[in-house]
Structure 1
Amino acid sequence: MRWEEVCENKQLQDLPFKIELNKWGQIVMSPVKIKHSFYQGRIQRLLESLLHTGEVMPECAINTSDSVKVADVVWCSEERFTQIENEISASIAPEICVEVKSSSNTWEEMEFKKNLYLEAQAVEVWLCNEQDEMKFYNEQGELERSLLVPNFPQQIKR
């Protein structure tokens, strides 16, 4: 299945799942819990308050070497946004891609997605764990804090 088909399929709309494709075109669905949505919203609002240029978006579809993955939250520069805004799924990853770990994810899956986003030209990938902690990565590995948004907190407060 292609991403365009997923987007146009009426049976796949309004499902309480995050939908992605793997490299074989198979649909992968992950259930989303309230806590996961809370972290997505909090991260999005924090990004919007700290960055005054570019676009912050939830649930951004990105073409990767393992088909289409959907980052929980992204930040995209104005330049990159202009490049992808009319695409069905982003041909290049936004500069910041954020994944929120939920109980249905393993750390191996999170690591795999992190590498896919970096390979798709994300500058940084952030991971939020179930203990409210943020981890920041770039091509060189784990960072002490984000280089693109140095004031972003390392702990998501409730």
Structure 2
Amino acid sequence: MTDIHARLKERGFRLPVPPKPNGNYLPFVRSGRQVLVAGQTSTSDGVLQYEGIVGVDLTVPQAQHAAALCALNALAIAGLACDGDFDRLRALRLTGFVRCGPDFADTPLVMDGASELLVLALGERGRHVRAAVGVAALPRRSPVEIESTFEVDE
């Protein structure tokens, strides 16, 4: 079994306790081998680490770190669906929502923070397809929210 925790620690990250939903929804749904993870923001221990508008209140590197935190939370939740055996987990898709102004063109760069985190954590099994969408507002003034789909090997 690979040591996801060691790989993350080398880059200054740690896999968090899976965050609880902030409403009447499930943190994930498993359908067959697919795991759909609800949208995650850049919280750590229940506290939002970044807020504001990317390109106004936050730089792209700050937003990339926020996106990485979103991906960590998604990964922690997906870990519940594979009983913590991350060798069975594969990232399939990320949809990233970046709170920004109408002329902000770097949403893909922001999402690179999440994509790089998943590849760091899961290796080749972390490579995925994705979309990066600019939006006017996100929950709790979060600069980034990510929803994700994973696959679990039986």
| Structure 1 length-normalised TM | 0.33
Query: Would you tell me which structure has more helix in proportion to its own residues?
Result: 2
| Structure 2 length-normalised TM | 0.33
Q: Which has the higher contact order (CA 8 A, sep 6+)?
A: 2
